[in-house]
């Protein structure tokens, strides 16, 4: 009884192995299912890897965009600094022009004073001789 039970048990076991594709060289319906399952898993892994690569590429693109934005901001700051420098130069030029005008006015005043003094001297000399 034990032998018949063991024999039937091993026979059932073999049939189960064959169904799973593990018995008699791995051939049969079970091994094809297992192979297709392995292919499915490989495809899923490949898809996951592709998705990961796409995500990495997207992250790289985002980083590049951020860098471009930073560069643009730096350029804008540089332009603002250049404009400020230009304004300062313009102000300096205006101050120089104002100083030149003041000097010209001073010279004119000196000339007028010189003319006035000369006239006074002429009058003084003229009235002293008369």
User: What angle, rounded to 10 degrees, do the helices at 29-129 and 2-20 form?
Assistant: 40
5 pLDDT exceeds 70? no
Q: What is the mean pLDDT of residues 1-13?
A: 51
Instruction: Specify the pLDDT at position 80.
Output: 98
Residue 86 has pLDDT above 80, yes or no: yes
Per-residue pLDDT at 124: 78
pLDDT surpassing 80 at residue 67: yes
Query: For 40-64, how does the pLDDT look when each residue is reduced to its tens digit (9 = 90+)?
Result: 999 999 999 999 999 999 999 999 9
- Determine what percent of the chain is predicted with pLDDT higher than 90: 55
Could you tell me the pLDDT band of residue 85, with boundaries at 50, 70 and 90?
very high
Q: Which residue has the higher pLDDT, 41 or 4?
A: 41
- pLDDT for 18 beyond 80: no
- Residue 80, classified by CB atoms within 10 Å of its CB into exposed (0-12), middle (13-18) or buried (19+), is exposed
Residues 6+ apart with CB under 8 A from 18: 24, 28, 30
Helices (H), the chain: 2-20, 29-129
Mean pLDDT over 3-11 rounds to 52
The pLDDT of residue 10 is: 53
Report which of 45, 7, 37, 43 is spatially closest to residue 20, judged by C-alpha positions.
37
Q: Give counts: helices (H), strands (E), the chain.
A: 2, 0
User: What mean pLDDT is reported for the chain?
Assistant: 83
Distance CA 22, CA 15 (A): 10
């Amino acid at each position: 009884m034990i032998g018949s039970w063991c024999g039937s048990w091993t026979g059932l076991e073999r049939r189960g192995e064959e169904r799973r594709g593990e018995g008699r060289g791995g051939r049969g319906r079970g091994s094809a299912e297992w192979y297709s399952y392995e292919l499915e898993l490989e495809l899923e892994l490949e898809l996951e890897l592709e998705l990961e690569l796409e995500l990495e590429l997207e992250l790289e693109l985002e980083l590049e965009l951020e860098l471009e934005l930073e560069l643009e901001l730096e350029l804008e700051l540089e332009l603002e600094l250049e404009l400020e420098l230009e304004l300062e130069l313009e102000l300096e030029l205006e101050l120089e022009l104002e100083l030149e005008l003041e000097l010209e006015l001073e010279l004119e005043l000196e000339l007028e004073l010189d003319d006035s003094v000369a006239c006074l001297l002429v009058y003084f000399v003229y009235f002293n001789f008369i």
